[in-house]
């Protein structure tokens, strides 16, 4: 697991990022970065500009563009059909290489029991959603924010009783449970050993606490991160919102 570097940058003291270098390897989170957040993951909308922007940017970077997301690979492909981009899903737990090879660990033995316990818990509380991603589980409380402390308390207890190899990953209005040893930073590091990413300057753009490992990883390799939105971060730069991300990415295409 990639440990974030020490020292979070203050919330309002980061400049906007410079233009993407021609020899960059660009890694992009999806929800809250490329796409606006929605009440539930299946309600997000893909703006038409993103559908044209991603393949054009990938071509400009000679294929050195990958999605780094908490979603499954299948869900990423559903959002961006026909692109077949390299993707790290489930916060780095599974990864599809530029050649299309998928790397994923075997499921942990206690996931069935944990899934059942969390499903029972969620069913008792209106506004909660259990997202089953196969190798990981996420409890969303965006529709019931008052339940956040209770969600964390229950999930911690269930994980502690389940298996020593599980870890909790807090996010925006959700908490995810998955195996230890994998995160967005480890996935980016693996991509950087492969063509066409190898030898380029890594740039990672994300908005959530789950992205902090990625910011630390790119910094350790001489690259830089871009935090979307407010909040302390290990990233070197900041963009205000999803629209600002799109404009910034589009600016890379405008350079002759």
Phi-psi region of 98 (alpha: psi -120 to 50; beta: other; left: phi over 0): alpha
Of the residues 29, 75, 77, 208, only one is catalytic, namely: 29
Are 53 and 90 within 8 A, CB to CB?
no
Contacts of 186 by beta carbon, 8 Å cutoff, 6+ apart = 1, 2, 92, 213, 217
CA distances to 136, 194, 216, 234 from 219, in Å: 27, 18, 5, 9
How would you class 192 by CB atoms within 10 Å of its CB: exposed for 0-12, middle for 13-18, buried for 19 or more? buried
Token pair 């599974």 is at which residue? Answer: 94
Neighbours of 24 (CB within 10 A): 20
Torsion of CA 149, 151, 154, 155, to 10 degrees: -120
* CA 176 remoteness from chain centre: 12
Are 213 and 185 within 8 A, CB to CB?
yes
- Is 29 known to be catalytic? yes
* CA 2 remoteness from chain centre: 14
| 158 token code pair | 């269930």
Active-site residue set: 29
């Amino acid at each position: 697991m990639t440990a974030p570097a020490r020292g979070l940058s203050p919330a309002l003291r980061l400049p906007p990022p410079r233009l993407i270098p021609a020899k960059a390897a660009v890694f992009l989170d999806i929800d809250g970065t490329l796409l606006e957040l929605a009440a539930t993951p299946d309600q997000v909308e893909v703006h038409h500009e993103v559908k044209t922007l991603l393949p054009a940017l990938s071509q400009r970077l000679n294929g050195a563009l990958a999605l780094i997301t908490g979603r499954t690979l299948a869900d990423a492909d559903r959002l961006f059909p026909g692109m077949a981009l390299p993707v790290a899903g489930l916060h780095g737990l599974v990864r599809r290489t530029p050649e299309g090879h998928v790397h994923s660990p075997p499921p942990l033995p206690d996931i069935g029991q944990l899934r059942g316990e969390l499903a029972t818990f969620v069913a008792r509380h209106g506004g909660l959603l259990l997202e089953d991603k196969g190798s990981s589980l996420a409890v969303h409380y965006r529709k019931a924010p008052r339940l956040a402390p209770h969600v964390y308390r229950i999930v911690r207890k269930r994980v502690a009783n389940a298996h020593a190899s599980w870890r909790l990953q807090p996010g925006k209005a959700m908490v995810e449970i998955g195996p230890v040893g994998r995160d967005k930073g480890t996935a980016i590091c693996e991509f950087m050993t492969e063509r066409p990413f190898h030898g380029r300057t890594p740039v990672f753009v994300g908005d959530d606490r789950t992205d902090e490992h990625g910011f630390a990883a790119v910094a350790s390799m001489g690259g830089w991160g871009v935090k979307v939105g407010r909040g302390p971060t290990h990233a070197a730069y900041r963009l205000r919102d999803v629209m600002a991300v799109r404009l910034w990415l589009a600016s890379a295409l405008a350079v002759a």
